[in-house]
Amino acid sequence: MGRIKVTDCGIEGLYVIEPEVHEDARGYFVETYNYRDMQEKGLDMVFVQDNQSKSHKGVLRGMHFQMRHPQGKLVRVIRGRVFDAAVDLRRGSVTYGKWYGVELSEENKKQFYVPAGFAHGYLVLSDEAEFCYKCTDFYHPGDEGGIPFDDPEVGIEWPFEKGMELMIAERDRNWERLSVSKFAF
């Protein structure tokens, strides 16, 4: 019971989750997900798909969402370090267009819960990073939407390092700005 710490990020539904880590001379053990512990903290989502990706330093993936089949995501890093960000796209939300970011790493073992109705993305800060996430809905090809990672009206403060060479997918360079698309869930 209660083996996780849940921190509200100031945007309804968005949470940083810190599991209890047991370390000794042999290494460590961490329970990365326990439905009962999550439910006890008021997080009652059901996950249907797990994904994992590996990326190199300077890769920026995002800001993505699924339009007709929105997904909640519980994200974490098992190797390396990333800056992870989410933007509220929920119609009528008092925090519509606001963002929150957190560093996730193999050292801090933090997780980030991004609910359905948010755009999500991350920047790899280490030489390589392995990123894992659980989803509340299945991936539907052709259903992806996005906003630019550098949308000036959103203003995400990415921690770009001096001399960092960004690697961004072509589709992520061509999303319409939030104020132009007016997309909302």
pLDDT score recorded for residue 119: 97
For residue 1, is pLDDT > 50? no
Respond yes or no: is residue 96 known to be catalytic: no
Domains recognised in the chain with CATH numbers: 45-181 (2.60.120.10)
For residue 2, is pLDDT > 60? no
Catalytic option among 28, 33, 64, 139: 64
| pTM, full prediction | 0.94
What is the mean predicted confidence (pLDDT) over 125-137? Answer: 98
What is the mean predicted confidence (pLDDT) over 54-72? Answer: 96
| Inter-residue contact 113 to 74 (CB < 8 Å) | yes
| pLDDT tens-digit map of 74-117 | 999 999 999 999 999 999 999 999 999 999 999 999 999 999 99
For residue 139, is pLDDT > 80? yes
The pLDDT confidence band at residue 145, using thresholds 50, 70 and 90, is very high
Catalytic option among 15, 113, 122, 133: 133
CA nearest 71: which of 119, 17, 125? 119
DSSP 127: S
- Show the tokens assigned to 166: 């960004």
For residue 162, is pLDDT > 80? yes
- Show the tokens assigned to 71: 């997904």
Respond yes or no: is residue 140 known to be catalytic: no
Residue with tokens 């959103």: 154
pLDDT score recorded for residue 9: 95
